[in-house]
Amino acid sequence: MSLDWQYFFSLFTMSAFYEACVVVIVLSILAWVIGAVLGFIIACGKLSEKRWLSVPTSLFIWFFRSVPLLVVLVFVYNMPQLFPSTGAFLGVPFFAGLVSLVVTEAAYMAEIHRSGLLSVAKGQKEAGHALSISFLGIQRIIIIPQAIRVSMPAMINEFVTIIKLSSLVSAISLSELLQVGQRLYSQNFLVLETLLAVAVYYVGIVTIFGSVLHWAEKKMDIPSRAPETLSDQECDVLRQQAIAIKSEQIDPNQQGMPHALSLREIEKSYGHHQVLKGINLAVKSGEVISIIGPSGSGKTTLIRTINDLEKIDNGEIVLFGEDFIKPKQESIKHDVYQGIKRIGMVFQSFNLFPHKTVLQNIMIAPHYHQKNSSVAETKAQALFLLDRVGLLAHADKYPHQLSGGQQQRVAIARALAMSPDIMLFDEPTSALDPEMVGEVLKVIQDLAKEGMTMIIVTHEMEFALSVSDRVIMMEEGIVQVDASPNEIINNPEQTEDFKRIKEFMGKVA
């Protein structure tokens, strides 16, 4: 027995097959797009800490991943028998097939999206919060783009699966490729030739649309992009664009104002472990304070309470004489976000946005808050700040293409882009190689000379003594010593507290 090749090739001239291809393509694209959107919402629900969201979404995923699609198709198509009002919609094979594919694929897409969302580091959300970007803004600008890039290969594979699963809608009399083929070979009994042609049509659809999606995936593959260092001539052009942005416009010197920051009886616990035990701290405008102490003393927790990255249990934080942060139930969300805009933060692990270029990282917060009158002005300010930290030539690179020291300097520039009144540094050099520490400390020293109010958590003892107006030593959740570098070095009384700080600084050094 041989195949009837003439008949086989004639099947590629039949309009019924091309009409069926349109049905498969439209059905698959709609099911993929709607399923992806619905799946993302379900994934967010499953990841929620609120059980009234996580439990129903988890049940949805469990149920529709367990029930065969064919069963869902038949049930949905016959739904009008139970609910006659749905007949106008679900009584139509195309819409019944679409709904069935969407609810089934949403369950699978939800797990794909969940893996993408879990891949985004917690620090990305914290960096967005530190820039006073709202929850929805963080999701839209920071989290979703990164999660989709991770999820894209699996989503492409799911699109191929949907195209193949669309053949099952023939069970509810939708005229798609398989049903057209079945009608033909039931008349002429040329089964192999007909099914081979159907397979070619499916392969063609998968190949064309798969190629488009793989192209989109490649465009999103940021790590594979080659680094682009700007030439001296290009840097000179960018400097001209930034010439109108003068240093005094971003000078945060607030001399003569009330205390920049007042922490009053701050307490913080994790379960039964109390990390902060009634911390009191007043920071004057233009003052530089370094916080030192052994690991676990509460240094990082304290600095993270200042911009609401950690919720305080008791006490209050006052910003320039105005109420800022109180225990969670008392804080006014709007006031907190407005206050965070005045505080820049530089993290230990940089927390740059990997899907944005260096220039875009710096522009993101001013653009989101519409700080400047135009995008051109925002870009000019970002270029000025990049030049200020010595990285103008790297404006078009991505964070992974920079050294650790360079990334931290970009993080400082990003924080400065909002013209903050206070800068927080959480161990800014601890993640750097020794030879990279100096370039970051130089930027911080320059800020200190300009009168920037700064609170620095650090293990660099010599740096702390040289740059600070006051050095605070924390231990076991309390402030043990609050003194000027001169008092620490030349204190003649040799009290127990001063003995302890000198002993600690000697060990660390």
Q: Which helix (H) or strand (E) holds 135?
A: helix 135-138
Q: Stretch 240-258: mean pLDDT, rounded?
A: 56
Can you give 40-104 as a three-state secondary structure string? HHHHHHHHCCCHHHHHHHHHHHHHHHHCCHHHHHHHHHCHHHHCHHHHHHHCCHHHHHHHHHHHH
- Rounded to 5°, the CA angle 178-181-186 comes to 125
Structure tokens at 414: 């990003």
Q: Tell me how far apart the alpha carbons of residues 477 and 302 are, in angstroms, rounded to a whole number.
A: 9
pLDDT digits (tens, 9 = 90+) for 339-373: 999 999 999 999 999 999 999 999 999 999 988 77
Q: What pLDDT score was predicted for residue 429? A: 86
pLDDT digits (tens, 9 = 90+) for 31-50: 999 999 999 999 999 999 89
End-to-end CA distance of the chain: 88
Domain that includes residue 443, residue range: 240-508
Backbone conformation region of residue 308, classed left if phi is above 0, alpha if psi is from -120 to 50, else beta? left
Q: Tell me how far apart the alpha carbons of residues 41 and 72 are, in angstroms, rounded to a whole number.
A: 21
Percent of the chain with pLDDT over 70: 95
- Kindly tell me the burial class for residue 471, based on how many C-beta atoms sit within 10 Å of its own C-beta (0-12, 13-18, 19 or more): buried
Q: Tell me how far apart the alpha carbons of residues 137 and 330 are, in angstroms, rounded to a whole number.
A: 24
Q: Is the dihedral of CA 446, 447, 450, 456 positive or negative?
A: negative
Structure tokens at 458: 């650090």
For residues 153 and 253, membership in a common domain is answered with: no
Among candidate residues 220, 251, 280, the one where a domain is terminated: 220
For residues 445 and 473, membership in a common domain is answered with: yes
Size (the chain), residues: 509
Strand order through the sheet with 314-319: 273-283, 261-270, 314-319, 322-325
For residues 62 and 156, membership in a common domain is answered with: yes
For residues 271 and 142, membership in a common domain is answered with: no
Q: Stretch 327-332: mean pLDDT, rounded?
A: 76
Q: What pLDDT score was predicted for residue 470? A: 93
For residues 373 and 463, membership in a common domain is answered with: yes
Among 81-85, 411-415, 476-480, 505-509, the range scoring the smallest mean pLDDT is 505-509
Q: Given 3-state DSSP classes, what are the helix, strand and coil percentages for the chain, each rounded to the nearest 5?
A: 60, 10, 25
Q: Cβ atoms within 10 A of the Cβ of 349, count?
A: 17
Q: What pLDDT score was predicted for residue 129? A: 94
The answer to whether residue 227 is domain-embedded is: no
pLDDT bucket at 1, cuts 50 / 70 / 90: low
pLDDT digits (tens, 9 = 90+) for 136-181: 999 999 999 999 999 999 999 999 999 999 888 888 888 888 888 8
| CATH assignment of the domain containing 64 | 1.10.3720.10
For residues 165 and 302, membership in a common domain is answered with: no
Q: Stretch 305-323: mean pLDDT, rounded?
A: 92
3-state secondary structure of 469: coil
The answer to whether residue 234 is domain-embedded is: no
Q: Stretch 412-418: mean pLDDT, rounded?
A: 93
Flag whether pLDDT at 219 surpasses 50: yes
Flag whether pLDDT at 238 surpasses 50: yes
Flag whether pLDDT at 437 surpasses 70: yes
For residues 279 and 169, membership in a common domain is answered with: no
For residues 169 and 284, membership in a common domain is answered with: no
Q: Stretch 3-27: mean pLDDT, rounded?
A: 90
Q: Tell me how far apart the alpha carbons of residues 156 and 39 are, in angstroms, rounded to a whole number.
A: 14
Among candidate residues 171, 190, 220, the one where a domain is terminated: 220
Alpha helices in 321-419 (DSSP H): 333-340, 358-368, 375-388, 404-416
The answer to whether residue 225 is domain-embedded is: no
If you average pLDDT over every residue of the chain, what do you get?
88
For residues 216 and 351, membership in a common domain is answered with: no
Q: What pLDDT score was predicted for residue 183? A: 87
Listed residue (290, 288, 285, 289) closest to 253, CA to CA: 285
For residues 162 and 292, membership in a common domain is answered with: no
Number of domains in the chain: 2
The answer to whether residue 187 is domain-embedded is: yes
For residues 289 and 167, membership in a common domain is answered with: no
Flag whether pLDDT at 126 surpasses 70: yes
By DSSP bridging, strand 322-325 and strand 273-283 are unpaired
Among candidate residues 220, 249, 278, the one where a domain is terminated: 220
Flag whether pLDDT at 247 surpasses 50: no
Q: Tell me how far apart the alpha carbons of residues 137 and 369 are, in angstroms, rounded to a whole number.
A: 10
| CATH assignment of the domain containing 259 | 3.40.50.300
Q: What is the dihedral of CA 124, 127, 128, 130, to 10 degrees?
A: 160
pTM of the entire predicted model: 0.85
Q: Stretch 398-402: mean pLDDT, rounded?
A: 93
Among 24-33, 254-263, 415-424, the range scoring the smallest mean pLDDT is 254-263
Angle between helix axes 15-47 and 177-188 (nearest 10 degrees) is 140
For residues 72 and 109, membership in a common domain is answered with: yes
